[in-house]
Amino acid sequence: MKIVILISGRGSNMRALLEADLPVEFACVISNRAEAKGLEIAAAHGVPTRVLNHRDYADRAAFDTALVAEIDRHAPDLVILAGFMRVLSDAFVLHYERRLINIHPALLPAFPGLDTHERALAGGVKLHGCTVHFVTPVVDAGPILAQSAIPVLPDDTPASLSARVLEQEHRIYPMAVRWFAQGRVTWREDGTVYVRGESDATRAALVSPSD
């Protein structure tokens, strides 16, 4: 299975994917920022890189058109958003329907959008976490593929909560991509997804489904 990863910054989730020994070919890592540190990490892992600076295009539609052309040149089976800080057009999202995934630092459908850790603390929730989901035109509303939950501690700050959630992101993103590569992801008629062959839940975190 061929994969293209889109990044904008440090690429920590991308690194987790590249180091997970997945049964896939990483065809290219594309960034909209030439200074993205993740490009160096990708190159160090032998993955081709490409920069498409969104500022070089007249508008979002023009950038997305160029991005689609670059992605399609690699004929990927799956496109992964790994800290890609761009709002994608509906046309882009629909072009990659059912093969475009993202990871969000909250237990969707709770806390879509930005500032998730601050909002979780302000809301007094007892569990927080992250979600791997398919991308749809509605931001952070696509079918959920996997989630991992952690307890919110009494002395948590947005920074400490973010750090612990990020550990779980690095855990479940490769897990979800492996399921996709193994052909275990199945779509229901109602548009939700499930993973075939789930095993017992792990003890380190509340991961659902568990590998």
Q: Are 7 and 34 in contact (CB under 8 A)?
A: no
Predicted pLDDT of residue 197: 81
* CATH numeric code, 103-211: 3.40.50.170
pTM of the model: 0.93
User: In the predicted model, what is the mean pLDDT of residues 165-192?
Assistant: 96
pLDDT, mean over the chain? 94
**Does the annotation mark 104 as catalytic?**
yes
Mind listing the pLDDT tens digit for each residue in 92-138?
999 999 999 999 999 999 999 999 999 999 999 999 999 999 999 99
203 pLDDT above the threshold of 80: no
In this chain, the answer to whether the domains covering 1-96 and 103-211 adopt an identical fold is yes
For the segment(s) 1-96, the CATH number from 3.30.70.120, 3.40.190.10, 1.10.1740.10, 3.40.50.170 is 3.40.50.170
pLDDT band at 210 (very low <50, low <70, confident <90, very high): low
Q: Which two tokens stand for residue 88?
A: 């994608």
Query: Domain segments of the chain: what residues?
Result: 1-96, 103-211
Q: Please give the Cα distance from 105 to 162 (Å, whole number).
A: 8
Q: Please give the Cα distance from 29 to 56 (Å, whole number).
A: 19
Q: What are the contacts of 99-102 at 24+ separation with CB within 8 A?
A: 100/134, 100/135, 101/132, 101/133, 101/134, 101/135, 101/145, 101/176, 101/177, 101/180, 102/132, 102/133, 102/135, 102/140, 102/142
Mind listing the pLDDT tens digit for each residue in 12-51?
999 999 999 999 999 999 999 999 999 999 999 999 999 9
Specify the residue for token string 């670059």.
Answer: 70
Among 95, 104, 117, 133, the active-site one is 104
